[in-house]
A and B are shown apart, each in its own frame.
Chain A
């Protein structure tokens, strides 16, 4: 069975600096998708970025980018120029292309932004 591990329960970063959140996963499949979702306090969870396992190029969305290492089964999220609005819980998730709706989630990392 697939698993997703986020080893950092909490991270903090100074405003305007860069932070990297870690995510590792375990799977025997070759094709799948990986996601980072953000859940701000008392607000809805939203998608930050996604990556298809077959694409070697790392996904980028503005200040958010990933470092996808397929062989190492690692999928870290880098946030550049951190802003106060980035403070949230960040969840890493995995979905097999065969899954039928099932997302496998990590336990989350709480990101604190220091002004």
Chain B
């Protein structure tokens, strides 16, 4: 495996629920990412944290709230989601910001909003 672990693997939530996705990396990397993956569409970068500071926020709705308490953990807090938010949410990590840097991905959380 890649050293990036996401929990839960599957999540079904109602539009009024509050839930959180968790990501943990055991690679000693200093950057972590949240991506949204929808069928037949390119991956969408949501948030990037470098050294626990948010460095990218790609116009993501406020119903998605990231948290990075330390360099090994990343959370995505979800509240009042819409059905179109149903997707696979991928966490990734990398070491440094050089352009050639490889990203290491978790298996993703399959989110269904009902």
User: Which positions in A face B, CB cutoff 8 Å?
Assistant: 4, 9, 32-33, 37, 42-47, 50, 52, 91, 95-97, 99-108
Contact = CB atoms under 8 A, between A and B. Distances in A.
Interface of B: 1-2, 4, 31, 33, 40-43, 45, 48, 50, 55-56, 90, 92, 94, 97, 99-100, 102-107
Contact of B56 (A4, A32, A46, A100): A100
B2 A107 contact: no
6 contacts: A44-B1, A45-B105, A96-B99, A105-B42, A107-B40, A107-B41
Given A44-B1, A44-B2, A44-B4, A103 B103 contact: yes
Given A45-B105, A103-B103, 9 more contacts: A33-B99, A37-B103, A45-B92, A46-B2, A50-B102, A91-B42, A91-B43, A100-B97, A107-B40
A110 B33 CA distance: 24
B54 to A, nearest CB: 11
Given A101-B97, A107-B42, A47 B107 contact: no
A37 B97 CA distance: 18
A32 B99 contact: yes
Contacts of A107: 40-42
Contacts of A50: 100, 102
Contacts of A42: 107
Contacts of A100: 55-56, 97
